[in-house]
Amino acid sequence: MTRAGRVVLLVLGLGGLLALLAIAAADLPAFGSVHSAYAAFARHAAYADRHAANSVAAVVFDVRGLDTMIEEFILFAAATATALLLRSTREEDAERAEDHGEGDALKLFGIGGVGAVVVLGLYVVAHGYVSPGGGFQGGVVLATAAALVFLAGTYRAFRRVTPQSLLEGAESLGVLAWPALGVGTLASGSAFLANVLPPGSIGSLASAGTIPLLNAATGLAVASAFTLIGVEFLEELFAERARGEEGRS
Amino acid sequence: MSVYPYVIGIVVFGLGLGGIAVSRHLVHAIVCLNVAQTGTYVLLLAVGWRRHGTAPILGGVPKGSHQVDPVVQALTLTDIVVGITVSGLLLALAIQVHRRRGTMDPDELRALRG
Amino acid sequence: MTAVQIMALSLVALSALLVVLTRDLVKLTIANSIYGLVLVVLFLVFGAPDVALSELVVGAVAMPLAIVVAIVKERGE
Amino acid sequence: MHALVPLPVAVPLAVAAVLGAVGRFLPRQVVDAAAILAAAAVTGVSATLVVGTADRPLHVFFGGWRPHGGLVPGIAFDVDPLSAALATLAGALTVAALVFAWHYFEEALPLFHILVLLFLAGMVGFALSDDLFNLFVFFQLMGIPAFALTGYRVDEPGPLQGALAFGILNTIAGSLLVLAISLVYGRTGALNLVDAGAALAGRPPDLLVTAAFGLVVSAFLVKAGVVPFHFWLADAYSAAPAPVCVLLSGVMSDLGIHAIARVHSSAFAGTFAHREAEVRAILVALGVAGALITAVMSFLQADLKRMLAFLTASHAGIFLAAVALFSPAALAGEVVWVVGDGLAKGSLFLCVGFLLHELQDGDELRLHGRGRRLPVAAAIFVVGAAAVSLLPPFGPFLGFALVGDAAGALGLGWVPALLALAAAVSGAAVLRAAGRVFLGLGDRDDPLLSQQPQHAEREEPEDDVRRPRVALAAAGALLALALGLALVPGLPRHAVAAAAQAQDRHALVEAVLHGVPEPPASAPPQHVGVAAYAEGLATTAAALLLALVGLYRRRLPRLVRVVAGRVAGPPLAALRAAHSGVLGDYVAWLAFGSGLVLGLFAALVR
């Protein structure tokens, strides 16, 4: 089909689709006036039943826990596939470029920054069910700390900090925690992924029953998955620059 | 005016979808795919907002005040994670396509036809 | 609907259009990061700090890294 | 029995995670055995659930969040014999694919096994879930490992492009689903299908409801590969490794159609009650048109995998039209047809995988007569093709008979006839290929058939003598199951009873929202009449005849050939040109298709 034909098809289809969606959205209750019983129930479940100050975390890790478990396995599938897709076509023996010798200022800021970013990441993960944040957001911040080591430090230091098999192991364990806990609660007689631990006192870290466990597992899985993807993407840079690109088919 | 957020969400989705169809570079197409997905986040969150509503987090917020819908935010969180992981995998595929075919232009990638 | 929300929404639509219309890849990365940050503002204005934080780490860190590597790979020749 | 329901999803996920952690240190046989055992466990548990839910479906609520005052906060699974049967089919095909792929992949981390197990968990969850957003999450868990597996052979151009098209198109479909969820949640404040259905049933459908249903249908038609959303499917299924194709074609596509049936009967049947005829007309038209178009495309292919890919798309159209009749017999017939068809397609793809391994080529013309010394493969391939062409008494035929009864009762006798025609045309392509490859019939080249570039399609890096017997054993076992399915006593009756129960909205609302167990399922005994047998045999005969025409086209009288060339030439050329292989075109077709679907629903259903 010519590009012109495609644009005609696109304008017709997309135009119709967007117009109908806009009219449909006009039938929605006015912006700001939607009062769903589900939302009230979720807030009550978070604050009263689970003593979790962050109701979004309560929904993510408890009320709709299965969604988050499947989301972690989607992350696991994509991270594993991305890592091996990039790694399989790189010649393992390609020697890596030596240090890229950044300026002292960047090195100083970087090394100093890494510690702070790691603490920030751990804080965001740990307080996921008390204040905004959580396993996913904190996990990506921790992965950023690893990337910062690369930016500021030497490439060799970066590779020492991020051994791939260790990352894959950590990611798998972090993800395995979900079905393990689920089958555990199932075996103990209650429902799959039921929050069986005492809710503790709201606002403190010792609250919300099993939510902290799942939150920590998610943080571990996300941190190692994103670091793994980061390593593979940065490795692409170095394998490429160290040797000329082999002839393309 | 009360339909403006919904329309913006739909328009951003349409922009992303249109961008993919006419894209001349795989990285641009994948970024447009991400834009289309963010359009759905805007609509999803807009449906959950409540007038004078504050974040659905206890502590530091006056007890009686209205809070917005946490369920919709949980759904959007899951979406964002799925979105970035798919984008990562597609970008890795795009790098492989470039290594194999020397081009990143979807119009030139015609291995299978007919 | 507050004035800030209207501004944030309009900014999101504009920067989305900017991203889609940008063909040059380096400018695309910058436009996409700006779009990510504008989205963070919108999500905050919608009372969704968790979502804003995750869009921040995704839009400002993960996505640009992947795009930059893809661009460098292509420009490597 | 309730405790069994989460296991078919949790077990493959847990085994995949364990393989991710320690897989690289385990010997290859242990990894293969672990994966096959996990898939077999899923098959066993799902089969138990099929029997266990014969009386009434199981409603399981995750996290212990039971319905509360008419609201369903937790995520629910609705396990009835039909959805459990599809989960069993997914498990069985995964076992067959893993057995075929024994020693297939030699990398450090057993990525293939991890992705296949995640793919299985996604399919089982997608078949059983009763929550709209949970369907989206399982839709993605099914999609991402699948398109990573499609692009597994990174050293060839086809798989890379197939994987890209698969990934981008399915992600857009996911976004359509999220738009639908926003609309439904905004209107009803519910994510559970039955909960939303109860809320929607109160009022006649307005533009929001028709748009939401249109979005859901469009998203699932992309997954099922029905025209005009099928372009990615042809590229992806013809580029994926054979064991992956078994899963993609055997069950993944058809799950999209079953999801449409479930979403309609649980959530939208109430509000569409007075508009059922219009909704039926739209979906039947889409299904029949799609089935015929892709059946013709299947006939025009020389590459065996691409031929079976179009056959899968054609059958997805058939199943859409069957489901859209919205009667218990039609739904029951569709599921029986899907299970039988999935087993037969699985065995056909395993045979093609076997041919790729033995003869290093997957093109019908280049394989002309080279299959003569492979009698077992020939037998399985021909019987599989006949089963797909509705040869009694295989599973597909039984499903077709039930759908025929349902259509007859609605006065739509022409629908099963067109579905049989589509099955005949696509079956004829496979029979023609069988004749040319195994018996050396017909000409060595045929300009009508489009061939794909001959890339080094070697499916297996090193020779493994034990492999061929394993592949054929798996293919034969699947075919035996397709036959055995039809010999199960009282199967049609149980299927129709289960379908009637799934479509009984009032009992469903009582059961899910208020915990009142449904009355036990019951249905009159189903009798497959002589007329049905005649129609099945006629379809197979038509397929055989068309195959012969395909083989000996040049020997037809000149006048017939000239007229046929002038009449059929231009449309076939246009049809072939539309399958351009360009990503931008596919996205434009998706936008056009979804605009069309939403437009039709908005216009008619109001």
Q: How confident is the model at residue A35 (pLDDT cuts 50, 70, 90)?
A: confident
- Residues sharing a CB contact under 8 Å with residue D67, sequence separation 6 or more, in sequence order: D61, D73, D195, D512, D513, D514, D515
Question: What is the distance, to the nearest Å, from the Cα of residue A51 to the centroid of all Cα atoms in its chain?
Answer: 25
- CB < 8 Å to A124, chain C: 53
Q: What's the pLDDT at D161?
A: 86
| 3-class secondary structure, D60 | strand
A33-37, C37-41, D290-294: the lowest-pLDDT one: A33-37
Chains C and D lie in contact, requiring 3 or more CB pairs less than 8 Å apart:
no
Q: Which residue has the higher pLDDT, D157 or D19?
A: D19
With a cut of 90, say whether residue A96 has pLDDT above it.
Answer: no
Q: From B18, B36, B17, A17, select the one nearest D592 (Cα to Cα).
A: A17
| C39–B contact, CB cutoff 8 A | yes
Q: How confident is the model at residue A52 (pLDDT cuts 50, 70, 90)?
A: confident
| 3-class secondary structure, B54 | strand
Q: How confident is the model at residue D579 (pLDDT cuts 50, 70, 90)?
A: confident
Mark yes or no for CB contact A77/D212 under 8 Å.
no
Question: Burial of D466 by CB count in 10 Å (0-12 exposed, 13-18 middle, 19+ buried)?
Answer: exposed
Number of domains in chain B: 1
Q: What's the pLDDT at D88?
A: 96
Identify whether B25 is part of a domain.
Answer: yes
Q: What's the pLDDT at B113?
A: 67
Neighbours of B107 (CB within 10 A): 16
Domain that holds residue C64: 3-75
Q: Nearest by CB to A68, which of B43, B70, B78?
A: B78
Q: How confident is the model at residue A244 (pLDDT cuts 50, 70, 90)?
A: very low
Tokens at D348, concatenated: 């056909």
| D138–A contact, CB cutoff 8 A | yes
- CB < 8 Å to A13, chain D: 588-596
Mark yes or no for CB contact D214/A20 under 8 Å.
yes
With a cut of 90, say whether residue A97 has pLDDT above it.
Answer: no
Q: What's the pLDDT at D183?
A: 96
C-alpha span between D26 and D38 (Å, rounded): 16
Overall average pLDDT of the A76-91 stretch: 81
Q: How far is B103 from chain A (nearest CA, A)?
A: 10
- Give me the residue spans of the domains in chain A: 34-248
A:68-97 residues touching chain D, CB 8 A cutoff: 69-71, 73-74, 76-78, 80-81, 84-85, 88-89
- CB < 8 Å to B103, chain C: none
Q: How far is D520 from chain B (nearest CA, A)?
A: 35
Contact D13, A73 (CB under 8 A): yes
- CB < 8 Å to D140, chain B: 82, 86
C-alpha span between A181 and A184 (Å, rounded): 5
- CB < 8 Å to D13, chain A: 69, 73, 178-179
Mutate to test the interface with D, among B34, B93, B99, B105 (most CBs of D within 10 A): B93
- pLDDT tens readout for residues B32-88: 999 999 999 999 999 998 888 888 887 656 665 688 899 999 999 999 999 999 999
With a cut of 50, say whether residue C56 has pLDDT above it.
Answer: yes
**Which chains are adjacent to chain C, needing at least 3 Cβ pairs under 8 Å?**
A, B
| A208–D contact, CB cutoff 8 A | no
Mutate to test the interface with C, among A129, A231, A233, A241 (most CBs of C within 10 A): A233
Mark yes or no for CB contact B74/A64 under 8 Å.
yes
| 3-class secondary structure, B45 | helix
Q: How confident is the model at residue D462 (pLDDT cuts 50, 70, 90)?
A: very low
Mark yes or no for CB contact B86/D167 under 8 Å.
yes
With a cut of 50, say whether residue A212 has pLDDT above it.
Answer: yes
Q: What's the pLDDT at A201?
A: 79
- Residues sharing a CB contact under 8 Å with residue A10, sequence separation 6 or more, in sequence order: B18, B21, B22, D587, D588, D591, D592
Contact D237, D312 (CB under 8 A): yes
Which element (helix H / strand E) includes D352? helix D328-359
Q: How far is D449 from chain A (nearest CA, A)?
A: 20
Mark yes or no for CB contact B20/D137 under 8 Å.
no
Chains B and C lie in contact, requiring 3 or more CB pairs less than 8 Å apart:
yes
- CB < 8 Å to D580, chain A: 1
Mutate to test the interface with B, among A23, A31, A69, A234 (most CBs of B within 10 A): A31
- Give me the residue spans of the domains in chain D: 2-446+466-604
Q: How confident is the model at residue D106 (pLDDT cuts 50, 70, 90)?
A: low
| A183–D contact, CB cutoff 8 A | yes
- pLDDT tens readout for residues B89-113: 999 899 888 888 888 888 888 766 6
Tokens at D476, concatenated: 């034969």
C-alpha span between D543 and D545 (Å, rounded): 5
Q: Nearest by CB to A226, which of C1, C62, C72?
A: C62
C-alpha span between D85 and D94 (Å, rounded): 14
Q: What's the pLDDT at D11?
A: 96
| B77–C contact, CB cutoff 8 A | yes
Residue of C nearest to B90 (CA): C66
Identify whether B11 is part of a domain.
Answer: yes
| B27–A contact, CB cutoff 8 A | no
Q: What's the pLDDT at D455?
A: 53
Mark yes or no for CB contact B84/C58 under 8 Å.
yes
Q: Nearest by CB to B77, which of A53, A60, A248?
A: A60
Residue of C nearest to A225 (CA): C62
With a cut of 70, say whether residue A54 has pLDDT above it.
Answer: yes
Amino acid at D2: H
Residue of A nearest to C71 (CA): A237
> What is the percent of chain A with per-residue pLDDT over 90, rounded to a whole number?
31
Mark yes or no for CB contact D144/A17 under 8 Å.
no
- pLDDT tens readout for residues D312-339: 999 999 999 999 999 999 999 999 999 9
Q: What are phi and psi of D48, to 5 degrees?
A: -60, -40
Mark yes or no for CB contact D71/A41 under 8 Å.
yes
Number of domains in chain C: 1
pTM to 2 decimals? 0.94
C-alpha span between A132 and C34 (Å, rounded): 22
CB-facing half-sphere around the CA of D334: CA atoms within 13 A: 34
Question: What is the distance, to the nearest Å, from the Cα of residue B79 to the centroid of all Cα atoms in its chain?
Answer: 8
- CB < 8 Å to C62, chain A: 140, 143, 226, 229
- CB < 8 Å to D172, chain B: 17, 20, 33, 36
| CATH classification of the domain holding B39 | 1.10.287.3510
C-alpha span between A114 and A144 (Å, rounded): 9
Overall average pLDDT of the D444-466 stretch: 63
| D575–B contact, CB cutoff 8 A | no
**DSSP β-bridge partners for residue D403:** none
C-alpha span between B13 and B2 (Å, rounded): 19
Q: How confident is the model at residue D454 (pLDDT cuts 50, 70, 90)?
A: low
Q: How far is C64 from chain B (nearest CA, A)?
A: 10
With a cut of 70, say whether residue A99 has pLDDT above it.
Answer: no
Q: At what angle do helices B70-101 and A65-88 cross, to 10 degrees?
A: 10
Contact B77, C50 (CB under 8 A): yes
- pLDDT tens readout for residues D285-313: 999 999 999 999 999 998 999 999 999 99
Q: How confident is the model at residue D103 (pLDDT cuts 50, 70, 90)?
A: low
- pLDDT tens readout for residues B41-57: 999 999 998 888 888 88
Whether complex ipTM tops 0.90: yes
Q: How confident is the model at residue D369 (pLDDT cuts 50, 70, 90)?
A: confident
| Widest distance between CA atoms in chain A | 65
B93-97, D127-131, D221-225, D536-540: the lowest-pLDDT one: B93-97
SS3 content of chain B, % helix, strand, coil (to 5): 65, 5, 30
